[in-house]
């Protein structure tokens, strides 16, 4: 009886929402059957730059079932990031009327994910596929048909669509999304390169890539007077609430956002996009619920993507492998009307020990949609280049690539000068190498064969920062002894429902089946969105602390209740297991939650907390680390690469649920194999459109492309990161995977491919 609680944390609990998902009972944004629903279809520009000269909507208006055709000619005036709340005088629709009473002056605030998203505000075209209208009809088919009847003429200008052709216009951004300056330097980079015995200097490129979650982005919008409800495929319900409020200039409390289940996010569902605003406007105009689903094709232009990057890396090292210089100069693209410069060099300054470092970020404005965060934003493209370059350096030094990394292991964060809260990179390489059989690798390129196939093994480092955001949560204990956990949080498929269930069960001393987690709704206590791998740390800490608070209430109640067998005991003198509160000294003395609450005529006892990160983040550098291992088989005649084995080993703090955490790693590895071998969105340079805008031509790995993948965590006890000791496992799975594959391809073939994806043409 000395166990403090039921141990629920650390168990491989099946997904608590699994049954709902496989039976179809889980409702996604486009699946709420509302009465009188109308359907909206997006109309998008067919040029990349210029002006709309005319839009003739008359045929569409007259088409059967059509309820509204909205274009820039009749759309309500919205806030734009530039006009921040100011001029609403020109507006002509109800949205403007609602603005007047809002008094919310916060539009255009600091948070880049709460900035207004103006849409249909003028005749200007900035990219191919920009929304230029929305057609609302009784049925989806009627709306689709009517959308084809719009007659649009343009004054077309020549678009800038290729980064390489526009490098002369590269600029230095003001800031990046993360706490990293666009230019970061220490020491003397030229001196460091000069002092090196061995140098490598290469440029690596990654293509435009799209997230393409299985569930398409979608919004169902319903107005009830001044109240707007949005069922939105979103990773960030509070962000949607705030952004839509800022855009439509209505008070956030008039907006409810529901995102109960999300069919994959990967970053694209974090920011608000134009279609959500259009659904809200359309529903207001037709005075009915409106459903708007972004088509797979439209997903390529409407919800962001990962920008193409070009990265020059220069490394210098002494003969023994000790790095004397790391230089990482990055170009990525953004759009002509918004800025998103991916923080590609984010991991470079902290990863290895070097006195001399330079990291620069430059942006090029193109007539393409604005890029956005995509799983492991920054690290995914950045670590492909950096970890490929480290492999090249290892060959130049004739040093084992793992050994090279070990020789540059920094005692503390070389950029911040802070100690690590914990760092298991060495341990991950040690255990991973053993498990993978790295010692069987003959270091000579093109030396290993299996029949006619060339075999290669490659490795790379993974890393991702441990983030934690302020989050609130409410926990309620009901008279039947069960518990409810309420917070706005979303589960983008990662297992949020499940791990929160485990945290609450353990903290409350009840079985997991007695916990009901309700999330994905702005009616619940406010949280950050699901992104940056901070869900477990942020939501988990809030839930844990709400449980502690409600537990203290319950114990206090028992202590003071003259009819309780626990009367007079101190809180620390009591414990709870299986829903029964008992004396630690005499376990026979006790009663259940149910008995205590029922006797006191309480239907519910609850506590709501706001949980904020402590000062530890200022004292320690906090990151998860891992080692990725790939084995490939290359057909020397056809240039076909097949990943035949993959292993990832990670130190990510305490693992709340080894089953869902491992699934996250495997998912990340698959996404990384896609990045290495398959994914690329091709731009038609003349017209600025993504040519392969469908899942037939935008290649992602299928089952046949994916080998048996192994992923495991090394034991890591981190007392500093947060009270739960978790680091987060959303993103680290993908980091370094593409480099490990590219390094394996080099080992197999002797050919270094520095331009992703590694397709057969590049190997022949």
Would you count residue 528 as binding ligand MOS (CB under 6 A)?
no
Would you count residue 593 as binding ligand MOS (CB under 6 A)?
no
Collapsing DSSP states into helix, strand and coil, what is residue 668? Answer: helix
Binding string, residues 197-236; x marks residues near ligand MOS by CB under 6 A: --------------------------------------x-
Q: How far is the CB of 531 from ligand MOS (least distance, A)?
A: 4
- Which lies closer to ligand MOS via its Cβ, residue 234 or residue 367? 234
Assess whether 731 carries a catalytic annotation.
yes
- Which lies closer to ligand MOS via its Cβ, residue 159 or residue 271? 271
Spatial CA neighbour of 177 closest among 5, 22, 376, 358: 376
Total residues at the site for ligand MOS (CB under 6 A)? 12
Structure tokens at 733: 């799975």
Structure tokens at 648: 């990832």
- Which lies closer to ligand MOS via its Cβ, residue 259 or residue 285? 259
For residue 461, list its beta bridge partners: 627
The only residue of 362, 625, 731, 740 in contact with ligand MOS, by rule CB under 6 A: 731
Would you count residue 551 as binding ligand MOS (CB under 6 A)?
no
Catalytic, out of 209, 392, 679, 731: 731
Would you count residue 267 as binding ligand MOS (CB under 6 A)?
yes
Collapsing DSSP states into helix, strand and coil, what is residue 676? Answer: helix
Please report, to the nearest 10 degrees, the dihedral formed by the alpha carbons of residues 246, 251, 252, 254 taken in order.
-130
Distance CA 700, CA 644 (A): 17
- Which lies closer to ligand MOS via its Cβ, residue 375 or residue 526? 375
Would you count residue 653 as binding ligand MOS (CB under 6 A)?
no
Which of these ranges, 27-35, 78-86, 374-382, 631-639, lies near ligand MOS under the rule CB under 6 A?
Answer: 374-382
Q: Is the preceding omega at residue 38 within 30 degrees of 0, hence cis?
A: no
Cβ atoms of residues 745 and 664 within 8 Å: no
Would you count residue 28 as binding ligand MOS (CB under 6 A)?
no
Distance CA 150, CA 135 (A): 9
Which of these ranges, 305-313, 314-322, 370-378, 430-438, lies near ligand MOS under the rule CB under 6 A?
Answer: 370-378
Which of these ranges, 189-197, 371-379, 410-418, 668-676, lies near ligand MOS under the rule CB under 6 A?
Answer: 371-379
Would you count residue 305 as binding ligand MOS (CB under 6 A)?
no
Cβ atoms of residues 136 and 39 within 8 Å: yes
The only residue of 239, 531, 674, 736 in contact with ligand MOS, by rule CB under 6 A: 531
Residue nearest to ligand MOS (CB): 267
The only residue of 50, 116, 239, 265 in contact with ligand MOS, by rule CB under 6 A: 265
- Which lies closer to ligand MOS via its Cβ, residue 159 or residue 304? 304
HEC string for 113-171: CCCCCCCCCCCEECCCCCEEEEEEECCHHHHHHHHCCCEEEEEECCCCCCCHHHHHHCE
Binding string, residues 270-289; x marks residues near ligand MOS by CB under 6 A: x-------------------
- Which lies closer to ligand MOS via its Cβ, residue 373 or residue 673? 373
Distances (CA, A) of 341 to 370, 468, 730, 734: 9, 23, 21, 20
Distance CA 175, CA 568 (A): 58
The number of beta carbons lying within 10 Å of the beta carbon of residue 400 is 18
Would you count residue 535 as binding ligand MOS (CB under 6 A)?
no
The number of beta carbons lying within 10 Å of the beta carbon of residue 210 is 24
Q: Which helix (H) or strand (E) holds 18?
A: helix 18-22
Would you count residue 266 as binding ligand MOS (CB under 6 A)?
yes
Which of these ranges, 80-88, 238-246, 261-269, 423-431, lies near ligand MOS under the rule CB under 6 A?
Answer: 261-269
Structure tokens at 514: 């007695």
Catalytic sites, residue numbers:
731
Which residues of the chain form contacts with ligand MOS (CB under 6 A)? Answer: 235, 265-267, 270, 373-375, 377, 531, 730-731
């Amino acid at each position: 009886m000395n166990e403090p609680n039921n141990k629920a944390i650390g168990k491989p609990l099946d997904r608590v929402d699994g049954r709902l998902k496989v039976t179809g009972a889980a409702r996604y944004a486009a699946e709420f059957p509302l009465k009188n629903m109308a359907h909206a279809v997006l109309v998008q520009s067919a040029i990349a730059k210029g002006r709309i000269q005319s839009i003739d909507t008359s045929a569409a208006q007259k088409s059967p079932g059509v309820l509204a055709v909205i274009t820039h000619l009749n759309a309500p005036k919205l806030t734009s990031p530039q006009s921040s709340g100011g001029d609403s005088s020109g507006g002509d629709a109800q949205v403007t009327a609602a603005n007047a009473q809002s008094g919310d002056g916060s539009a255009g605030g600091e948070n880049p994910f709460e900035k207004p998203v103006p849409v249909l505000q003028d005749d200007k075209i900035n990219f191919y596929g920009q929304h230029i209208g929305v057609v609302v009809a009784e049925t989806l088919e009627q709306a689709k048909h009517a959308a084809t009847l719009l007659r649009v003429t343009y004054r077309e200008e020549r678009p800038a669509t290729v980064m390489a052709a526009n490098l002369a216009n590269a600029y230095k951004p003001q800031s990046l999304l993360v706490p990293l300056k666009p230019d970061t330097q220490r020491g003397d980079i030229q001196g460091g390169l000069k002092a090196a015995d061995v140098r490598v200097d290469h440029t690596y490129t990654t293509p435009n890539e799209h997230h393409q979650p299985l569930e398409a982005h979608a919004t169902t919008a319903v107005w009830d007077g001044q109240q707007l409800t949005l069922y939105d495929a979103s990773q960030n319900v509070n962000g949607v609430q705030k952004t839509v409020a800022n855009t439509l200039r209505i008070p956030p409390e008039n907006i409810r956002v529901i995102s109960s289940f999300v069919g994959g996010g990967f970053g694209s569902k974090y920011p608000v996009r134009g279609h959500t605003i259009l659904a809200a406007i359309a529903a207001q105009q037709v005075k009915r619920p409106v459903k708007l689903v972004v088509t797979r094709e439209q997903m390529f232009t409407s919800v962001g993507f990962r920008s193409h990057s070009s990265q020059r890396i220069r490394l210098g090292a002494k003969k023994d492998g000790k790095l004397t210089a790391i230089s990482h100069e990055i170009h990525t693209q953004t759009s002509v009307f918004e800025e998103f410069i991916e923080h590609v060099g984010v991991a470079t300054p902290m990863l290895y020990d070097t006195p001399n470092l330079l990291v620069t970020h430059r942006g090029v404005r193109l007539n393409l949609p604005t890029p956005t965060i995509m799983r492991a934003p920054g690290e995914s493209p950045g670590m492909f280049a950096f970890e490929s370059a480290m492999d090249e350096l290892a060959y130049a030094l004739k040093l084992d690539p793992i050994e090279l990394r070990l020789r540059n292991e920094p005692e503390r964060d070389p950029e911040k000068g802070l100690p690590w809260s914990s760092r298991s990179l060495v341990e991950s390489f040690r255990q991973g190498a053993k498990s993978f059989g790295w010692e069987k690798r003959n270091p000579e390129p093109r030396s290993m064969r299996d029949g006619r196939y060339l075999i290669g093994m490659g490795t790379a480092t993974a890393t991702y920062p441990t983030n934690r955001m302020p989050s609130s949560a409410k926990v309620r204990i009901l008279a039947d002894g069960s518990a409810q956990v309420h917070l706005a949080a979303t589960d983008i498929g990662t297992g949020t429902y499940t791990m929160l269930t485990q945290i609450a069960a353990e903290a409350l001393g009840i079985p997991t089946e007695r916990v009901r987690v309700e999330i994905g709704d702005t009616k619940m206590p406010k949280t950050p969105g699901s992104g940056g791998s901070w869900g477990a740390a942020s939501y988990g800490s809030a839930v844990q602390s709400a449980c502690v608070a409600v537990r203290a209430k319950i114990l206090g109640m028992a202590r003071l209740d003259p009819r309780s067998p626990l009367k007079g005991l101190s809180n620390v003198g009591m414990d709870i297991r299986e829903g029964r509160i008992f004396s630690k000294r005499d376990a026979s003395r006790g009663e259940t939650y149910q008995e205590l609450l029922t006797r006191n005529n309480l239907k519910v006892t609850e506590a709501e907390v706001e949980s904020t990160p402590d000062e530890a983040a200022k004292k320690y550098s906090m990151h998860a680390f891992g080692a990725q291992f790939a084995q490939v088989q290359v057909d020397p005649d056809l240039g076909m690469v097949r990943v035949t084995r993959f292993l990832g080993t990670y130190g990510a703090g305490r693992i709340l649920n080894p089953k869902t955490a491992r699934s996250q790693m495997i998912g990340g590895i698959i996404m990384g194999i896609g990045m290495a071998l398959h994914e690329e969105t091709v731009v038609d340079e003349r017209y600025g459109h993504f040519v392969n805008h469908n899942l037939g031509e935008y290649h992602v790995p299928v089952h046949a492309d994916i080998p048996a993948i192994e992923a495991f965590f090394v034991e890591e006890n981190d007392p500093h990161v947060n009270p739960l000791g978790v680091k987060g496992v959303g993103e680290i799975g993908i980091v370094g995977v593409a480099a490990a594959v590219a390094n394996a391809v080099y080992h197999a073939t002797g050919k270094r491919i520095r331009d992703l994806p590694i397709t057969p043409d590049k190997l022949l």
